[in-house]
Amino acid sequence: MSVPSLTVSTTTAAATTAIAVAIRHLTVRYRQIEALSDVSVDIQAGEQIAIVGPNGAGKSTLLKVIAGLQPITAGEVRIFGVERAEPNMIAYVPQRLQVDWRFPVSVSDVVLMGRVGRIGLLRRPSRHDRLLVQRALERVGLAAFANRQIGQLSGGQQQRVFLARALAQEARLLLMDEPLVGLDIPSQDEIFRTLVALRAEGVTILTALHDLQQAARYFDRVMLLNRRLIAYAPAREAFTAANLVATYGGHLHLQSSGDGLLTVADTCCNPPLDDTV
């Protein structure tokens, strides 16, 4: 089987020997279901990584483990060399469908939550904290919506609110779980523009995606995952026919278009709220 050529990002993260995330023999089980099996990988500081796989591949589980939200069955995860990272070191952007958007808080309140790890629960936010919230909203194009209730925003705006919260947090590691699902093209472009800016600041980013073309275009390396690690490399090396078949199995569709891009459709099921199983 021949695989069409991919348009791969030529922008790479700055050369570094620092490891942001070190995963060794990670296994996670939910009762009798194994969500992740013996995953080992090193993620360099400053890199932007796309995590790609079908529904139920364990992408959300992996991000939650790194964020410290999901216990592991076996193995080890170290964040910048430590087992327990400081809360303000990691910013986690969940799937939009997992959030109760009816909660009566404003956009600026949500973004300010990103400062809690640095402010403390019993202290009032300072002028500096509020300035960081304002700048974060400006960076994602939502400064005019600061006082609006989050449920009144569009899907793309809601996702950018959580990205602004991560910016205000000043985290060194950003984890994003399917941030583009249900968003229109302009909203997706806005998110990718922010990721490009974060690259220059040396923020390490892991993003769960379904779109292989976006993974190839915007990210330094791709992690092909289906409960076990299939490949971890730049897209041109990772997206071989053998690796894609191993990742997607019988739900793989390869299609060559005029520009030589690869199209993959996962038709096994509708996307669940959480692909942990």
Task: Quote the tokens at residue 53.
Answer: 């796989």
pLDDT at res. 120: 65
pLDDT at res. 270: 42
Task: Quote the tokens at residue 127.
Answer: 């002028």
Domains, in order of start, for the chain: 19-251 (3.40.50.300)
Residue 165, SS3? helix
pLDDT digits (tens, 9 = 90+) for 91-128: 998 887 767 777 788 999 999 988 877 766 667 888 88
Helices (H), the chain: 59-67, 107-112, 116-119, 127-139, 155-169, 185-200, 212-218, 235-238, 241-248
pLDDT at res. 15: 39
pLDDT at res. 255: 54
In one letter, which amino acid is 105? Answer: V
Q: What is the mean pLDDT of residues 17-43?
A: 93
* CA 236 to each of CA 106, 181, 212: distance values in angstroms, whole numbers, following the listed order: 43, 24, 11
Calculated CA dihedral for residues 196, 198, 199, 204, nearest 10 degrees:
-130
* Beta strands at 74-79 and 19-30: parallel, antiparallel or unpaired: antiparallel
5-14, 154-163, 212-221: the lowest-pLDDT one:
5-14
Indicate yes or no: pTM above 0.85.
no
- Confidence check: pLDDT of 40 > 90: yes
pLDDT digits (tens, 9 = 90+) for 127-157: 888 999 999 999 888 999 999 998 888 888 8
* Beta strands at 90-93 and 228-233: parallel, antiparallel or unpaired: unpaired
